[in-house]
Amino acid sequence: MSLFSLFLITILSTLANNAQAETHTWYFEVTYVDANPDGRFNRTVVGFNNTWPLPTLEVDKGDRGIKIPPHFHGLFQNGSNQMDGPEMVTQCTIVPGQTMLYNFSVGNQVGAYWYHSHTKGQYGDGIRAAFIIHDSDFPYDYDEETVITVSEWYHDDSATLDRSFLNLYNPIEAEPIPQNLLFNDTRNDSWVFEPGKTYLAHIINIGAFVSQYLYIENHTMTVIAVDGIYVQPSEYYVDSIDDFLDDFYLQPLKEEEIYDDYDFETTVDVVMDNLGDGINYAFFNNITYVKPKVPTLITANFEDKSDLIAFNGSNHGGWPEYPMRRDTIYVRPQSYFVIRFRADNPGVWYFHCHIEWHLSQGLALTIIEAPLEIQKNENQQLTENYASICEAAGISLVGNAASNSEDFLDLSDEDVQPKPLPGGFTARGIVALVFSCVTGVLGIFMISVYGLSDIKNIEEKASSTGEGTNPKGNLS
């Protein structure tokens, strides 16, 4: 059964680092496939060209690459925002039968990335895999390299899990527990080593929910890169559940001083709470993410002269001299992190929790960077292919989040989050409470009347139960 066709493409062109950059072109059709990766359960997954797992895509530094369904995770889409992937943030939904062309250059980026769908919980259904950019100037010695993915696995599909997760009957929003954990999309992988050799492993968690610990008994692992950034070698040692290498303290190999004092500061608070439909949502600054009717990138590209008002902050403690550079950050419970980024890539960027269930709950926000620059940049103008994907999905190519192209500031028709839970008792609640009280009082009254009434012929009844029975019913 054909789900939707999608494509990828890569093209080439540019010269990077004096090496001839190559263009890679891949074309895939997204299809449903049966698979049983944990050996326990045969289920339908989302694959490419009737196969699953999806292929690891490999390119070299400087190559022009492509992409698949949405989202090349962690990749810096430098001036190619519309190739970033998240549905209704930078592009329209790809409906069945449509072909989306992702055409971008990887530039100077190197290392281990991954690609995945950013639509609903689809990547939990299998549409995710590794994307590796090889570096001809790799700074460390090794003998052989491999790719290892870890993930969790559910026997139900994401749509079914999402329905029971975002549900009135799951008010504390307990995330679905996976049936299994996978190593390289299976439970039956073997990695053959030769003594004395050094192996380079690109380790990627392509899961939707679970964090995993990874170690090799009696062997040393040294972390030398994270999120495509080379770091000072750091021995990777897992001793206990709390004692693991915290990547936040890794120092990049190429020392890059912390950015100058910032111009704007903004604080993002995370809260989870129930709204009026009884479902538990996740909020950034009290707002749960609701998809706009027009992709935000289109809206940002729309002629508009409204002034943006920036937040004015101040005051900070000690910062690291050469801070870690990351795409994804582990946030400890009851904790926070402070990041600093240079706003030098105009576009619409999706800031979100990467626990896919929390994303379903709305833990996302969009950063709209320099919309007037987006509008000015000819390379950012939407391609014909982009427009045809939107037309096929019935999505307007102009307009704000409410799909209003007449009055940019009129958001009255916008899709919004459900209303909050009522603050006190509703009329229905009061009626229910009154009837419950009346029923309760009547019940106690009936029990009292029955309990206090005389029992007729008590002696006859007691003797008829036989000798040795205590008529008072004591357990003596």
Interacting residues toward ligand NAG by CB under 6 A: 9, 11, 13, 26-29, 34, 39, 42, 49, 56, 78-79, 103, 107-108, 146-148, 184, 188-189, 191, 217-218, 269, 285-286, 312
- The residue among 380 and 404 lying less far from ligand NAG, judged by its C-beta, is 380
Minimum CB distance to ligand NAG, residue 273 (Å): 9
57: β partners: 131
Residue type, 66: I
Structure token pair of residue 102 = 């992702």
Minimum CB distance to ligand NAG, residue 371 (Å): 18
Per the CB < 8 A criterion, the answer to whether 246 and 257 are in contact is no
Minimum CB distance to ligand NAG, residue 286 (Å): 4
Minimum CB distance to ligand NAG, residue 440 (Å): 35
- The residue among 198 and 439 lying less far from ligand NAG, judged by its C-beta, is 198
* 3-state secondary structure at position 112: strand
Smallest CA-to-CA distance from 59 within 94, 101, 15, 23 is with 23
- The residue among 365 and 398 lying less far from ligand NAG, judged by its C-beta, is 365
Please give the Cα distance from 475 to 434 (Å, whole number). 40
Residue 30: phi, psi to the nearest 5?
-85, 125
Minimum CB distance to ligand NAG, residue 43 (Å): 8
Q: Write down how long the chain is.
A: 476
Per the CB < 8 A criterion, the answer to whether 418 and 277 are in contact is yes
Per the CB < 8 A criterion, the answer to whether 67 and 113 are in contact is no
- The residue among 157 and 162 lying less far from ligand NAG, judged by its C-beta, is 157
Minimum CB distance to ligand NAG, residue 230 (Å): 15
- The residue among 103 and 280 lying less far from ligand NAG, judged by its C-beta, is 103
- The residue among 222 and 285 lying less far from ligand NAG, judged by its C-beta, is 285
Minimum CB distance to ligand NAG, residue 30 (Å): 10
- The residue among 92 and 294 lying less far from ligand NAG, judged by its C-beta, is 92
* 3-state secondary structure at position 334: coil
Contacting residues for 229 by C-beta, under 8 A, at least 6 apart: 111, 252, 253, 324, 325, 326
